[in-house]
Amino acid sequence: MVAFQAKDQIKNVGEVLLSVRNLRIYYGREPALIRAVDGVSFDIKRGEITALVGESGSGKTTIALSILSLLPPAAKIVEGDILFKGRSILHLKSREMQRIRGKEIGMVFQEPHSYLNPLIKVGDQVAETLILHENIGKEEARSRVINIFEKVRIADPQRIYHYYPHQLSGGMAQRVGISIAIACNPSLLVADEPTSNLDLTVQSQILHLLKNLSKELGLSVLLITHDLGVVSGLADRVVIVYAGKVAEEADVYSIYTNPQHPYTEVLLASSRVAKIKSNIEASGFLPDLRNPPAGCRFSTRCPYVLEKCSSEPPEVRGPNNSRVYCWLRGG
């Protein structure tokens, strides 16, 4: 049985593993061009958990899919770059990206039952990843899968190996999904709403598992979520996105105790673990990304809106190792 080993690069904790630079991803064509991601930049450091947080339609999943070159045909990257280990991966050929996807970058999707093959035993599905990327035989792959199932806290892994997806609960299916994602001991795990539609107890278990895996394997994690409540005690840094743009970025403690952007306050007010009390409310909906506001995109909903918020894009501000795009805050 082959035991998992933490990546050598964990010795270099703090170095940038993945860098998203001025990324712009649009859907459709003029005059109905949708600016889903419009100038987003952030870094993920080695060994850190970074949470990308925003409501549905903010561009989170589009960003996640672009990192793995899994964007739908309607999406077009019009500007920017994504660097992984210092190398641009945005325009790699399909074969080159396939070597990275699954082996160097793993992904955990929403709704695990929807992407697990219902006709193949779950253990064999994890084994397929190992056989594809590591060129090993079936028996060795099976032994490795048992080890991986133990790592993700699947009880009685030899029995579960032979289960089909329909025999698994949502939480157990997600553990299998995580097993596929970490099978080849990647450097980065992208987890897109990994606890959606799970009950609170199972959500907590899955999030705790991700944190433990990050520590044990030296794994960087990009956690995509709409709920600030799930990142408390899990993430190291938080990037708040709204309508295709970054609103705020800071360490998790600062986000919870001293949020700078009004939209961050809105998200906190709706979470169940907020460290501050806020009466802020935001009426209305996300702006139409075919014709977004000329100034701050949150200006149509912000209770603190100033005159220039509607006409001038906010400059980046922020204390220490943080940033906020807001005319009112962060100065």
pLDDT of residue 273: 60
Higher-confidence residue of 248 and 233: namely 248
Residues 57-83 have a mean pLDDT of 95
What pLDDT is attached to residue 157? 96
Report pLDDT for 271. 76
Average pLDDT, the chain: 90
6 pLDDT higher than 50: no
What local confidence, expressed as pLDDT, does residue 30 receive? 83
187 pLDDT exceeds 60?
Answer: yes
Instruction: Look up residue 89 and give its amino acid.
Output: I
Tens digits of residue pLDDT in 109-127: 888 888 899 999 999 999 9
pLDDT beyond 60 at 14: yes
HSE of 99, CA atoms in CB hemisphere, 13 A: 5
From CA 174, how far away is CA 165, in angstroms rounded? 10
According to DSSP, the residues that pair with 34 across neighbouring strands are 27
Tokens 């107890």 belong to 201
What percentage of the chain reaches a pLDDT higher than 70?
Answer: 92
Alpha helices, DSSP H only, in the chain? 60-67, 94-100, 122-134, 138-151, 157-160, 170-182, 200-217, 252-257, 262-270
Pick the more confident residue, 66 or 279.
66
Average pLDDT over residues 153-161: 96
CB 173: neighbour CB atoms within 10 A? Answer: 22
Residue 286, pLDDT above cutoff 90: no
Q: Residues 242-255: what's their mean pLDDT?
A: 96
225 three-class SS: strand
Q: Which residue has the higher pLDDT, 280 or 287?
A: 287
Can you tell me the mean pLDDT for 212-229?
A: 94
Which of 183, 184, 206 has its CA nearest to residue 194? Answer: 206
Average pLDDT over residues 10-17: 69
Per the model's pLDDT, the better-predicted residue between 221 and 317 turns out to be: 221
